[in-house]
Structure 1
Amino acid sequence: MKHPKVWFKWFAIVIVVGLLIWFSRSYLDFKVEEIRDWILSFGILAPIVYMVIYTIRPLIFFPASVLSIAGGLAFGSLFGTFYTVIGATGGAVLSFIVARKLGKSIANKDWQGKGRKLQEQLEKNGFFYVLFFRFVPLFNFDLISYSAGLSKIRFTSFFFGTLIGIIPGTFAYNFLGSSLVSGDPKVIAIAVVVFILFSVIPILIRNRVTKKDPTLDENTK
């Protein structure tokens, strides 16, 4: 049986997370244009401010997609993608570290049955699992980061799996945002097509992979 202090700790964490989500949805409901203008108001420091905000974003559960599009509006598809990848990876690492520190007892737990099998797979093939989940939109971005921190996955596997796996989707969001700045219907149309492709292709890959390896799909449930 768990010690009362452990229960209190997790109860407090749930309460704090709930309050942060409520605060984010109630008081941080900004339009992408407003976010872009605010970021650009810092002038030469705008890229740094953007990456710092993206890094701490998971702690307040602000939507990553909104910030990514704002990055495209502010910096264009190329630099927007570059800054967003750095910020998003930093945010994922921060989430991973927080979850591992707070959930050390879970990460170090000697699991049994399916839980133990999954932990062993994450420990051996963590990079490919993270790469797959980052590229294929199965779960919320932050949920993957926090869940990974509670597992036995190696930090290096998580880091590089995240860094590489988020590039395609990040580019799609930033390209969509930058196309709105151009105002060119052709550019916007191309950006929409690219966005749809990067949204559909991962799902097709996911279906193909899980058909070949049903255990992968079972482990995500």
Structure 2
Amino acid sequence: MSDMTQTPPNDSETKSGLSRYVPLIAILAVAVIGAFTLKDYLSFDALRDNREALIAFRDSNYLVAALGFLAIYIAIVGFSLPGGTIATLTGGFLFGTTFGALFNVTGATIGATLIFLAARYGLGNRLGAKLENSQGAIKKIKDGIDENQWSMLFILRLVPAVPFFIANLIPAFLEVPLHRYVISTFFGIIPATFVFTSVGAGLGEVFAKGETPDLGIIFEPHILLPILGLSALAVLPVIIKAITGKKDI
């Protein structure tokens, strides 16, 4: 006779499977709530209206201001809240181009890594396995990306047209190693972040004139062409592999 007292199958597995989605659900919930409640606080107008109080606090509590700014930046990126560009400008405004860029890049990298880990934990491993076991064009695309991960990761970060949130998720679904993701994120976002941070460092004059910053500066030829040049360097190994037929460089 069969054992009729066996524990119902997959019960614990189901609970465990559902718990994997908790980080992603939390990020989505906070992002939706933040989109409606924080947009007035994470805005250029808010920065302009509170600039004197922010500068005074920075001057009297530099370390606390720096750590607080870094924590806020991580939260903005990690929860995909509105105001990423304003946060970058604020970093330049409060801490100057050099330190502002360092804080901005560090905060963005840590925040992006949190999204990466949440997406991988919730969906990335399963989706990656499905893509690996797929057939036809989808499998070829994944194999092509796998063979050129470094180049593809840097291109995602360097090209301004790729939304930052999308660039955070794609690698998680393609089983990219964590160290490659972190390194390519940190160094790949430096050019664009440096540009916006430098704009933020000059906001004092912009405020004095009652103007708004020109965020379209990144698309001006003297800014965009060097970034595209770096993107071309990133894709060069892919071209060499295609020509030589080598698997690894």
Distance 1:198 1:54 in 2: 28
Deviates most, 171-180 or 137-146: 137-146
Choose the corresponding residue for 1:77, options 73, 86, 97.
Answer: 97
- What are structure 1's unaligned runs of at least 5 residues? 214-221
Residues 57 and 192 of structure 1: CA distance in aligned 2, closer, same or farther (over 3 Å) = closer
Distance 2:109 2:205 in 1: 28
Secondary structure of the 1:108 match is helix
Residue 126 of structure 1: aligned partner: 149
Could you report, residue by residue, the CA deviation over 1:50-95 in whole angstroms, capped at 9, with x for unpaired residues?
Answer: 2222222234322321210111111111111111111111111111
Secondary structure of the 2:148 match is helix
Displacement of 1:135 after TM fit? 0.6
Residues 23 and 118 in structure 2, CA contact (< 8 A), matched pair in contact too: no
Identity, % of aligned pairs? Answer: 20
Name the structure where helix makes up a greater proportion of residues.
1
- What's the TM-score, normalizing by structure 1? 0.74
Distance 2:231 2:106 in 1: 25
Choose the corresponding residue for 1:98, options 118, 138, 144.
Answer: 118
Choose the corresponding residue for 1:108, options 122, 129, 146.
Answer: 129
Residues 119 and 153 of structure 1: CA distance in aligned 2, closer, same or farther (over 3 Å) = farther
Residues 15 and 115 of structure 1: CA distance in aligned 2, closer, same or farther (over 3 Å) = same
Displacement of 1:17 after TM fit? 5.5
Displacement of 1:5 after TM fit? 8.0
Distance 1:189 1:34 in 2: 14
Residues 76 and 192 of structure 1: CA distance in aligned 2, closer, same or farther (over 3 Å) = farther
- Structure showing greater Rg: 2
Residues 65 and 56 of structure 1: CA distance in aligned 2, closer, same or farther (over 3 Å) = same
Residue 49 of structure 1: aligned partner: 68
Deviates most, 64-73 or 196-205: 196-205
- What's the TM-score, normalizing by structure 2? 0.67
Q: 2:167 aligned with 1:155, yes or no?
A: no
Distance 1:54 1:198 in 2: 28
Distance 1:93 1:189 in 2: 29
- What are structure 2's unaligned runs of at least 5 residues? 1-12, 240-249
Distance 1:153 1:78 in 2: 30
